Structure 1
Amino acid sequence: GFVPCTPLLPKRVFQVQLLQFYHHLVNRCPRVAAQAFVKALCDVRAVPYEPNWAQQFSTAYDVYLAIIQQVRTLVRKSLHRSSPDWRILNACPACQIRVVGEKVLPVRMMVAIDGNNSLKRIARRDPPSESGILGKSRERSDPRDGGQDGYLTTEEVEEWDEKKWKYSGNDMVDSEDESECNERWKNMKEESTAVALGKYEETGLFIMLCRHGFVLSMADMVRSGEQRKYALAVLNRFLSAEKRDREEKKEPKPAGELLVGYDIGCETAKTVKRCPLCPLALDQKLRMVVGLMHGHAHNRLCQLCYLLLYVVGAGLEDLEGCERFFSKSNSLAGKTRYQSRFHRRQAISEYTYHNDNFEVYANLSDFLVNNYRQALDLVATQDVLVEQLRLAEIEDTRVFFSWLDEERQYLRSREKVPVRETLEMEYLRNLKELEICRGILSTRTEEFLGWTVDTSKRELDALERNTRHLREEEMKHMRNIHVLKQKLEIDKTWERGSDEWERVDLMTQNANYQKALDHLEGLLVSRIFELGKAHLAGTGYKMRQHLLNAIRNRSKAIQTAIEKYNDAAKALRPPRRTISWDEIMDYTFLSEFDILRDTRDDVRHKPWAQPANRQLSNQFFKILRAQEELERLHVEIQRLYTFMKEETQFLLKAEQILKAKDPAFANQVRGYRMERGRFNEIHRRRLEKI
């Protein structure tokens, strides 16, 4: 058949086979634009390219996609799969299919959410005014949406803007949930994510994936950064669909948790507690966690609460699937940057549909088999761990859990510096600066009084000016000291060598030590992923040394920070041990810095603070998670086998029924069946190797 490029009196048409070929080509390689494809056709046909042909081809392609979408809708309707929630609840056979008699897992499903700003779209506006005000929108009105099921509208997202929240009764967040991660992650700061470059209308895409990579829900980020409302909107969409499905089927509440991995999962957990989503999240047993890759850039207390390594039932999943998805979908950016809103959503929807059915599903059994082998390899190291535990004189592995509790309690017990201590340190600082100022002033005064007729007027003016500035500085310190004495209710001014002076002086040294450590830790955040690669098991010695040398050569600021830290450590009483560049490279990311923060000597002698014990603890939890992964894989493999069998039988039966009534439509059902069915035999062969 042929598709015209105009509804009336078309002068040019395009073959359906050609449009179908371009459809599959552009989904495999999104960088191929319509103009480049039409020019290639002209080269093949040996005809010169006309500028309007690309537009005509795009129009015909829109018609083709509209037909495809209508056929999909009719097929799903005939199969009773046309409800808005059906796709989001049946996207992944390994996660969402339930088999009678299967083992109940502590974590029923794992998903990942994240935003990416590659898929931005330029707003079509008039040039801005001289004062910088954005020009009037020139966007053509288009009633078409372009999104598929699970693609949230802007209105659905805006309902979760914090300004529209109704009181939920959970405004108070437990103090133990407070974290120090806010300074490390820009998307935790609403003031950073609330603004975006004015030339962009859509500033990115926010998605939700299952652990196998199937897209469950997504939303456009509009004229803002990665705000909280996007995470809350996609979570609400998924949780609401699950709840409606359970109520329709009259099923009880879920037995297992729903783990949601997010690079700022710690902050999002607090947001969920105080927003209207809280009752639904509790009902569906939502639990926010932090993915393994991003988790190592969080502080240690946050890791102990949210890192997947310590979450029961998480298995070996890293919940970093969004990063892998974006690494592929970034190729869409060149095409969608200047498209209309409809065509951008259309391109993203078609890409995700194709990716789910022809990439993720095709590699599903490969994912399961690889995870199975990885889990077996880790479990095989159990004998080595037992021997190491014997040498370390650790008789019961339950001690690792108690160590985690002790470390968590210790980190939570660290309080911020009280207001009085802050004022005392400020008071002592002013006393010291006043002492230094008076010493210099005394010297300058003697020089001023000792002038002679030989002293030049220029030198005399400079000396007079310096003396005047020093007296002004002296008065400033005296005023500060007077105010602080009143606030602290100090009757007698502290003198050097007094008990109060020595006590606060030691407190100041500790504060300087903490400040130097914070600065060093902050610099390492920027290199955290390179450090992670250097410490990965499987990274060869030469590659590890190459990475460490590259970090060293490009990180002069880190070396300077190490020197300042060592100076602050030596100034303590008693002095703390200094650290070297090589020791920094041996640390397990930033988590090791938190045990340096305690200025008391005894913490370094606690079992959980010993590097060897921490390594054994990590190895133990990895093996524990590997055993959980095997249990999950046994369930997921059974689900995949069941899905392949029952789905094929169901669709074949529907196809046979329709063939007698409408052979052409039955052929469309067959095409729907073969979208995923073509990979079933490959799945069986792969799974039989286990």
Structure 2
Amino acid sequence: MSLICRHDIPIFFANIDTPGEQQKYAVALIKWFFQFVPKHATAVVLYDVGCVIDRSNQLYGIIPDDIAKRIQFVTSAMHAYGHQWACQLVYNPRLCNGLGLTDGEGAERVWSRLTKLIPIVRASSGARRLWLTDRQLSFIASESLDNLGSWIKHRLEGATSQQDRAECTLSKIQLEIDDIRKQWQLQKETQLSVKPRAHIQINKELDALLSLQGHWDSAENAIQVAAEALKTSKATKSLNMLKAIQETHEQNSRDLEKLYVSLSNDKSPLQVKKAEPEFRQALRLAHDLKITIRRQAISSFFEWDRLDQAVGGRNSALGTKLHQQTRKAISRRQPALMSAIKKYNAYCATLERLYNPACNLPLPQPLPTKLSELRDSSLLAEDVWTTSDSKPLPWLRNPNVQSGIYAMLKQARCLEEKRRLQSEAENLCRWLGRELLAVELALYSPSNASLLVHLSRCRDHLLQLKAYWINPFIPTERFDAQCAHAKELALQLIGGNPMGEGKKIYAQSADFDHEVIDESSMEPVNQDIDPTTLLLVTDVLLSTEELEGASIPDDTCAIQNMHMTKLAWIEPLGIIEDDLDVSTLKMPVPLASPPSFSALHGIGFNLDDLQRLTQAETMLNDICLNGCATILKDICDKDPSLGLNSHHCALFTTHDLIRARYKARDQELWRTMSSTKYWDKDVWILPIHRPQQMHWVLCVAYPKHRVILLYDSLVDQEAWSYDLKDLSNLFTRLILLANRHDHQLDIPIHDWIAQPTVPTQSNNYDCGLWVIAWIFSALRGKATCNHHVTERTIPQWRNFLAALVVNYSSHSLTKSLINFREQR
């Protein structure tokens, strides 16, 4: 069991040596922690079952009074949603004042980083297992401490984003914040005053009955299947037996319903005025059944989470045995849950049919019958209201008030989080100053001569933290001033020259009997040596001062500008349509000699590529797509009329986005993309390959207008949301690299807009041909050709490209292609 601070830094761990996660371990950790904090310090303890340990302390006093009055128990955020609503009102961190956005799930995140040790320590001894765990936890703590600056920045961004959404909601509902706060207080008072739930024995009986109902429904389905199969049978005896089985099943179903009614809790809270007895009975049954459904549904959700814990690489996957056991448990419980939901929805329909407005009672709403929809529905957490009220309850019936309460709580938590982050940032700065002061004083103390190397490393590490801990609250200047103040104060306290003192420490630590020799008193070794023949260290290495002042550009591969482009999923208006007619395209004049390999930018066609291009219903590869696009660009550039547009286009290859996606260095990115002279172009054309979908798409950017047109013959919005992140990083790096190489490119790297075109493809192999057609339209100064190039004319477009490539290929390759066609 672990004690983790809110920054996910491990503090203390307890080795559990008894079965189960007993409360004594949590109490021991709490007591041990309070031995190291001031006597007046307070703390909030977020625990998976914080409500249980708080109740145990109230009943039995398991925590000393001097500690108990300084702590507050809260349930961790993710586990809180598995508790009853009355428990959440008191212990949910999102509903408690002063906790900000702390979720208390740091132990889970630390545990996910420890799972890599499981296969290593499985066969280790107990002592070595503890040692390895301790070393890994020490590393996690050290790394998390170094990353506190970025942690504060990340948390601040999240708090600001959530606060903006909450304030937007509050502005839309147009309710006074005092009225919303009053309704929240009324809701808590009302829901915390609800009488206790049904007895646990009755809950068990209802669970057993619902399980029986699930099996009964399965039997009913089997009987219906058998009846459907035997309806044309001429075996009279079999039909009579089946009819008897159906009648017996219907009678047993009625008896089962009576049994459920008899098990319903007669003492459940029910204070309804002017209601018929049938309405009261249905309301009581729906009330008790809703509680059971919520408990079973939450258990089912946790089981699905366990199966999906490895999705997206979050955690390690379950083993085969655990996976099978979990699947069996889900399949065993799901029929009973579905039967309970259907029965509850039937009660809701009955209540709606028998409802009397004079009852002044909100009716329960039916639940979704799909688990995925049920999980996202807020109806599951709502209790069935069983008390009439003379006055309307806005917090219960008014959706605006409900949204306002949620937004008010979210806004309050975000403001608390911001205040706490600012306080933590100030503490970081002060702590760094105190630590530096202590290390500086220790360095100049003669008694610490044997620790000189360790203290120097400690000081260097603290000075490095200054760069890591820069955050929006504390700028670089504050940290620099704090470090300078610590050094000045150390000098004042020691009252001497620190450098001279440091030399004495070094001499004593090396057991010298004399002072360090002054370099000015040394005799030159040889006056006759030509100074120009000496190889000095300064000829090879820069000094520290020169290194700090030297202009060494940073590599842009670490840039993360994923929000540069906003995806507006609407078709752009006013774009120029290309009147390209594939059937009338004419081949250019044959070349006297084929272009060189370098003229085609290193793209060479072989026989397999030409076969792929000429064969119908075959998807193009990267050589076909890049080669055809390059040839079309060369043709347009040499044409007097088309060249006016194509000379303003920079044509990239399908490999350029891949280089940026996998963080290619600036030198490689500039070497491969600078030949296009994109900084002088008005249009950037970038074909993209999606290997998982086996699909080609196109991006055409107009950097001066900060507009990107997305060409996707299948129009997949979700895939574009991922591609745009990589495109934003690539375009940002291209702009920075151009400016760094003295090619002024005054283009903002934010607020770009990306818009899609209309779908055109219905098969799974012509996407590459569509991309080349769009590239040709862009080179011709148009935006799209969707209305003139269709799937009917795509085969003609393929034949034209194949002939074009043959015309531009070498004579030997052309001859091989002719022989190949003759053989076919």
State the TM-score, normalizing by the size of structure 1. Answer: 0.48
Asked which structure has the greater RCO (Cα within 8 Å, sep 6+), the reply is 1
Point out the structure with max Rg over C-alpha. Answer: 2
TM-score, scaled relative to structure 2: 0.41
